[in-house]
Structure 1
Amino acid sequence: MKIQKIQAYAVSIPLETTYWVSNEIIDRCSQIIVQVLTDEGVTGVATLHGRSMPTVLQVVEQLSGYLAGMDALAHEAIWAKVFGLTTISPDAARASGAPSYLGADKRPALLAAMAGIDIALWDIKGKAVSLPVWRLLGGDRTSIRAYVTGGYYQVDRDLFDIGPEMAGYVSQGFNGVKMKVGGLSLPADVARVKAVRDAVGPSTMLMVDANCAYTLEQAIEAIRAFEPYDVYWFEEPLHWYDSVRAMGKLAQYTHVALASGESEQHSWACRDLIDLGAIRYMEFDATRSGGVTEWLRVAAYAQLHGVSMATHHDPHIHGHLAAAVPNGACVEVFLDEKRDPLWKMLFRERAQLRDGQLHLSDLPGFGFDIDWDVVKRFHI
């Protein structure tokens, strides 16, 4: 089965309101869809984060010709060929017919494009043998615990009136919720955390996500202030430039589990985060960089070091992966349709959320089907 063509589409929907986290404004919901077409008529599909969309689409277009004719089941060879473009010399690129414009400034887009292609190849594998990916990977779990992310800062809402939102998720059967911190003064954020804890009760797992908001000293002060509210994990607390070694130091000051990894681009960085950062939850995102092949490497290393995999975004893909590995802990989901309209709109078929669990089907591949009318409507 040979790769015939690779194509990508960008979808973006303006949100009804503007959300923000500690270092970013969110006013659109966007995703990239990647298709890998084969000469035997089997098509693999993937979804990616909607970052750097024009550049990612351009890279996918270039990789289509570069990978055409390769065995669609040879995911390791394809992964290595694409990743090799991050270090190839211009002379070697010319000799091999590789895309010549891919330099360091395009590296994140290249790794994102590679993630989409790799995910689509695993979708092809499942479809080729009529197995869901969770089964293809050797798993036997058909469901996995889901937690809901909400509690964003929101421009048209009282920043302290988030208890009812989070309690609403619990009333739908979810025993874990995650909220944003780091975007206000520490006393203000403590008041928000207290409001959520009071609303969801003592038995609900409450995670806080700082989106890289703090220095080490600020993070120590913050987690000590949050600890009285029984925080389950503290996610991405530290500024991007010192998020590994400083994480290990932070762990010495708190009993709260640390979670990180969604911003990492490859397994080498995840290795260092596990070895030096003392995290207990690894959140490497297969739909942002590296794909399934790299996610599995990260998961295997994490297992050897007693670290659990807690996935980030795209549960219709990550659910298969987390359910298949022994250290798969949970998947992240978004129930607020105003914040994530694509979860409801983009798919004709996908994994289902019930009773606080993500339930996977027996459909081959990743088991989701895109509503192409929605793609046509919101395609950019």
Structure 2
Amino acid sequence: MKIKHVFAKQIDFPMGGKVWNPALTFNAKEIVFIFVETDTGILGVSEVWSFYGSARSIVDTINHDIAPLVTGEDPHFTERIRHRIAGIAPIGTLEGVLINALSGLDNALWDLRAKLLNTPLYQLLGAYSDSVYTYASGGLYGRDKTIDDLKAEVTGYIDQGFSGVKIKIGGVPQRDDLERISATREAIGPDARLMIDAVHAYNVPEALSLAAKAQQHDIYWFESPIALADNAGHAVINARAGIPVCANESLYGCQNFNDLISRRGTEYVHLDLCACGGITEARKISAIAEAHGLPVTLHSANSVCLFSASINFSATLSQCDSVEYHQVHQWLRAYAPEATMALTDGPYVKPLEAPGIGMDFITPDFIDKIAAEIASDLPAD
């Protein structure tokens, strides 16, 4: 069996700049779907997130650089494929667009391999559990959004069955963020988890100052407090803040995570299957975390395709803390009733009992159809 086709397709879902975090305003959510097809007609799929223009770069990297390297390969040879792709990185570096593309390809290959065996991905990887704890992610800044609006939003998440909520901080003056944190805790009650995410907005003194004032609200973790690459700074914050650090969703590779973990720069090892190198690399990173006695939590800020892959992977981990269930970026629900995974037994989600990640409805034709519908809904110039 050989890989016959590898290709990527992009969808730009308009968001109108109505919400934002400290790093970016969401004028659109740019999504890349990656497909791997065998010479027997079996199709693997994955979803990759990106920031604005980088989506086009990911598509070009897959279609023009990576596809020729892996066409004709045996899809079971994921490690060999990874090393071949890493070899095209300039001066031996592996980061940015290339790591996003590689991550997406790797995830699609795992979906494909599970489909070849007609088994759910989590069972192929070696299941530990058949359900995974999830938390509601939202609490972004919004146009004309008031404190009462924020309280209504997070109360709605609790009403849905979630017992944990994450909100953004770092995009307004500290006193305003502290008001948002206090209001969220009041709205969700004393027993729910409350996570705060600064999206790398602070330096070390600023992060420590915020944490000192916020810890009275029983914060479960302080996510991405400072610059991504500052592992030493994360260690300082983790040791002094009084709130456990959660890092780092945009970090890639087991070597980088090993440095962060060895410095004790985080208490929650935060992976994104679209950014860390894919499932193949995520397994190595999770093993490092387990060796240090640290839980793993998965970042998932896309539609159901990435979410399902994250649930499948997390169900294989004995030390899984949670998977993010982003409530802002579930845009695919508007186009397909299959594009959701329901909560069961409170905030838990079960992997789909279907081959791979269970996303057979996501085909190239389906993506083209959605892209056409989105284009038809846009106002004329």
Q: Give the structure-2-normalised TM-score.
A: 0.90
Deviations 1:117-169 (A, max 9, x none): 11111011100111111001110422101101111110132256411110110
Secondary structure of 1:220 counterpart:
helix
Give the structure 1 partner of residue 330 of structure 2: 340
Determine the structure 1 residue equivalent to 2:60.
58
CA distance in 1, matches of 2:125, 2:340: 19
Aligned with 2:111 (options 102, 123, 142):
123
1:356 to 331, 344, 347: 347
**Cα pair distance change 1:308/1:343, threshold 3 Å:** farther
* Pair 1:272 & 2:259 matched: yes
Does the 8 Å CA contact 2:221/2:243 hold for their aligned counterparts?
yes
Cα RMSD of the aligned pairs, angstroms, is 2.1
**Equivalent-residue separation in structure 2 for 1:377 and 1:299 (angstroms):** 40
Secondary structure at the counterpart of residue 6 of structure 2: strand
Distance in 1 separating the partners of 2:215 and 2:172: 18
SS of corresponding position for 1:23:
coil
Partner of 2:214: 226
Q: CA deviation at 1:281?
A: 0.9
2:24 alignment partner in structure 1: 24
For 2:198, the equivalent position in structure 1 comes to 210
Whether contact under 8 Å (2:6, 2:67) holds in the other structure is: yes
For 2:318 and 2:131, locate their aligned partners in 1 and report how far apart those are by CA, in whole Å.
Answer: 13
- Structure 1 pair 126/188, CA: closer, same or farther in 2 (3 Å)? same
**1:20 & 1:37 partners in 2: Cα distance?**
36
Deviation at 1:335, TM superposition (A): 2.7
- Give the whole-Å Cα distance in 2 for the aligned partners of 1:81 and 1:4: 17
Aligned counterparts of 1:107 and 1:236: Cα–Cα separation in 2 = 18
Secondary structure (helix, strand or coil) at the match of 2:225 reads: coil
1:308 is the counterpart of 2:295: yes
Contact 1:349 1:367 in 2 (8 A): no
Q: Is the 8 A contact 1:10 1:50 kept in 2?
A: no
Q: CA deviation at 1:375?
A: 4.2
Larger deviation, residues 228-237 vs 286-295: 286-295
Q: Which amino acid aligns with 2:24?
A: E
1:367 corresponds to which letter in structure 2? G
Given that 2:228 and 2:248 are in contact with CA atoms closer than 8 Å, whether structure 1 keeps it comes out as no
Q: Could you tell me whether the CA contact under 8 Å between 1:7 and 1:61 is conserved in 2?
A: yes
In structure 2, what is the Cα distance between the partners aligned to 1:379 and 1:61?
23
Q: 1:326 aligns with which of 305, 318, 330?
A: 318
Q: Which runs of 5+ in 1 are unaligned?
A: 90-103
Measure how far apart 1:254 and its partner are. Answer: 2.9
Q: Relative to structure 1, is the Cα distance of residues 328 and 192 closer, same or farther in structure 2, using a 3 angstrom cutoff?
A: same
Count of matched residue pairs: 362
Taking only the aligned residue pairs, the percentage that are identical comes to 27
Q: Which one-letter code corresponds to 2:137 in the other structure?
A: T
More displaced stretch, 217-226 vs 249-258: 249-258
The answer as to whether partners of 2:128 and 2:317 remain within 8 angstroms in 1 is no
Question: Structure 1 pair 148/260, CA: closer, same or farther in 2 (3 Å)?
Answer: same
Shift of 1:224: 0.7
Mapped partners of 1:28, 1:301: distance in 2: 36
Aligned 1:1-380 pairs, distance under 5 A: 1-16=1-16, 18-51=18-51, 52-62=54-64, 63-86=66-89, 107-158=95-146, 161-240=149-228, 242=230, 244-313=231-300, 314-336=306-328, 339-345=329-335, 348=338, 351-354=341-344, 355-368=346-359, 369-370=361-362, 371-372=366-367, 373-378=369-374
* Deviation of the 1:345 alpha carbon: 3.2
- Shift of residue 55 of structure 1? 0.9
Tell me, in whole angstroms, the C-alpha distance in 2 between the residues paired with 1:207 and 1:298.
Answer: 22
Q: Return closer, same or farther for 1:301/1:252 CA change in 2, 3 Å cut-off.
A: same
Query: Secondary structure at the residue paired with 1:187?
Result: helix
- Distance in 2 between the 1:202 and 1:304 partners? 32
2 CA distance for matches of 1:16 and 1:353?
Answer: 29
Distance 1:187 1:255 in 2: 19
| 1:31-53 residue CA offsets vs partner (Å, 9 max, x unmatched) | 11000011111111111103311
| 1:265 Cα offset (Å) | 2.2
SS of aligned partner of 2:12: strand
Q: Per the alignment, do residues 347 and 327 of structure 1 end up closer, same or farther by CA in structure 2, a change over 3 Å counting?
A: farther
Of residues 247-256 and 53-62 in structure 1, the stretch that sits farther from structure 2 once superposed is: 247-256
Amino acid at match of 2:8: A
CA distance in 2, matches of 1:253, 1:111: 32
Q: Is the 8 A contact 2:128 2:318 kept in 1?
A: no
Q: Aligned letter for 2:57?
A: T
- What are the Cα deviations for residues 8-59 of structure 1, in whole angstroms up to 9, with x where unaligned? 0001111155211122212222211000011111111111103311111111
Which residues of structure 2 form unaligned runs of 5+? 301-305, 377-381
The aligned amino acid for 1:67 is: V
Partners of 1:343 and 1:255 in 2: CA distance: 39
